[in-house]
Amino acid sequence: MVEIIDFKIRPAFTSRGDPTLEAEVIVRGGKGRATSPMGASAGKNEAVHLPKGGPKASIEILVSNRNRIIGIDAGDLKALSDTLKDIDGTEKFENIGAAAAYAITVASAEAEADSRGVPMYEVLIGKEKPTIPYPLGNVLGGGKHAGKGSPDIQEFLVTPLGAPNIVEAIKVNLEVHKKVRSIIEERDPTFTGGKGDEGAWAPKMTDEEAFEVVEKAIDHVSRELGYKIGFGIDMASSSLWENGKYVYRRKGKILTPEEQLAYVEDLVKRYNLIYVEDPFHEEDFESFSELTKKIKDVVIVGDDLFVTNVARLERGIKMNAANGVILKVNQVGTLYDALLFSKLAIDNGYKVIASHRSGDTWDHHLAHIAIGAKAWLIKTGIVGGERMSKLMELCRIWEGLQE
Ligand code: 2PG
Ligand code: MG
């Protein structure tokens, strides 16, 4: 047992410049430090990022409850999760904020690992052989992550299915990202090179044009490098949902839920998509389940639908609503709850995609969390320090496994 002997919590900022919290957990012979990311297209059923009074209010509560956190076994993620929930006293961390729950629980797992001299993922999966997930990254995007005139669909994603290892996989995604830029420039010589919050190119373009650009880039790089590259999208449909319809502003198109279903089916066929995230808004379990019934060999992923919440996933499982889940620890708050969620998903044949947030931090923990959650893919962008930190940590872990 490695007791928490001290902890610190301080205001911090994400890559988008939004306020968040950073925690430091100190144990005998080790310490951990973690900073919570924050979403922009956040689901309405997610835990609350920060309390109404901001970081200051959260810090005050935690400091006044110091003695309840000190003494907990840093590796006992359940005890820590229970204590934080108890201190908070609400269902969705309205008082201390999910940012605090994220930062303290992730820092604690890291402190435990540090004191034992093992990689953090080992605290999560023990001696089991780790599997390195392949990276899924967005090369082009719009929606809430980019400015006016960019596509309505939030993310056009690629994953290098055939790459032999993580280093090669990262290179493949980078090549597609670069190729996408040059194709955009061929079509629009005035393109400024603007990017969205996660480093994906954000050109003035309709969704249809964006599909063509990414498809062309994938074909080119895949032929050049000889690897199969999967094409996916995150429609983040809750962001399109207004008064009972899906509103595509850039295109000036409005779809009923039935039309949205037909549109998604058509996109999957036309562009050979292997991955579709949030094709419907966050309460429409029914349409999710209809789509999952209709199309085979495509991973249908719930992000805002499930918000890393066990009860919502249980409902989805009963309805066969999807076959993939996004796992974002800060959607639920504690690392313990997120791991319960991934276990439930895997036990029911769902694929897990461990994901960053659009406002992320320099931390690399997502690499360990993805391995701990037995993720199929890690969704963490392609360029930018806060994205590369996770990818580089996966390279280090992979290297360690070769030795
Ligand atoms: C998503 C995420 C990450 P955000 O919708 O999947 O790409 O975006 O963090 O803004 O919710
Ligand atoms: Mg999403």
Residue with tokens 């003035």: 204
Distance from the CA of 28 to the center of ligand 2, in angstroms?
39
Ligand nearest to the CA of 378: 1
3-state class (DSSP) for residue 395: helix
Domain boundaries, the chain: 4-117, 134-402
**Does the CB atom of residue 303 touch ligand 1 within 6 A?**
yes
pLDDT at position 251, please? 86
**Does the CB atom of residue 331 touch ligand 1 within 6 A?**
no
Residue with tokens 């990022």: 49
pLDDT at position 403, please? 83
pLDDT at position 357, please? 98
Distance from the CA of 42 to the center of ligand 2, in angstroms?
8
pLDDT at position 162, please? 84
Q: Which atom belonging to ligand 1 lies closest to the Cα atom of 277?
A: 6
Tokens of 240: 């399109």
Nearest CA to ligand 1 atom 2: 357
Q: Which atom belonging to ligand 1 lies closest to the Cα atom of 379?
A: 7
- Which CATH number is correct for 4-117, 2.60.40.420, 3.30.450.40, 3.30.390.10, 3.30.465.10? 3.30.390.10
- Tell me the per-residue pLDDT of 193-252, one tens digit each, with 9 for 90 and over: 999 999 999 999 999 999 999 999 999 999 999 999 999 999 999 999 999 999 999 989
Burial call 301-318: b when 16+ CB within 10 Å, e when fewer: bbbbbbbbbbebbeebbe
What is the C-alpha to C-alpha distance for residues 150 and 213, in angstroms, rounded to an integer? 13
What is the C-alpha to C-alpha distance for residues 116 and 311, in angstroms, rounded to an integer? 34
Among 45, 358, 382, which residue has the most ligand 1 atoms within 8 Å of its CB, making it the best to mutate?
358
Tokens of 360: 């992320």
Tokens of 346: 């895997």
**Does the CB atom of residue 236 touch ligand 1 within 6 A?**
yes
With left for phi above 0 and alpha for psi between -120 and 50, is residue 63 left, alpha or beta? Answer: alpha
Q: Give catalytic residue positions.
A: 198, 328
3-state class (DSSP) for residue 261: helix
Distance from the CA of 81 to the center of ligand 1, in angstroms?
24
Cβ count within 10 A of residue 79: 15
Distance from the CA of 119 to the center of ligand 1, in angstroms?
27
Instruction: Answer whether 187's CB lies under 8 Å from 216's CB.
Output: no
**Does the CB atom of residue 41 touch ligand 1 within 6 A?**
yes
**Does the CB atom of residue 268 touch ligand 1 within 6 A?**
no
What is the C-alpha to C-alpha distance for residues 195 and 201, in angstroms, rounded to an integer? 4
Is residue 149 classed exposed, middle or buried when 0-12, 13-18 and 19+ CB atoms within 10 A define those classes? middle
Cβ contacts of 112 within 8 Å, gap of 6 or more:
2, 27, 30, 32, 74, 75, 123
Distance from the CA of 198 to the center of ligand 1, in angstroms?
9
CA angle 246, 252, 257 (to 5 degrees): 20
Instruction: Answer whether 228's CB lies under 8 Å from 151's CB.
Output: no
DSSP state of 244: T
Nearest CA to ligand 1 atom 4: 39
Q: Which atom belonging to ligand 1 lies closest to the Cα atom of 197?
A: 10
| Per-position DSSP letters for 165-224, written without gaps between them | SHHHHHHHHHHHHHHHHHHHHHH-TT----B-TTS-B--S--HHHHHHHHHHHHHHHHHH
Cβ contacts of 319 within 8 Å, gap of 6 or more:
285, 286, 288, 289
What is the C-alpha to C-alpha distance for residues 350 and 328, in angstroms, rounded to an integer? 15
**Does the CB atom of residue 387 touch ligand 1 within 6 A?**
no
In this prediction, the residues of the chain whose per-residue pLDDT falls under 70 are none
**Does the CB atom of residue 14 touch ligand 1 within 6 A?**
no
pLDDT at position 138, please? 98
For domain 134-402, the CATH architecture is Alpha-Beta Barrel (3.20)
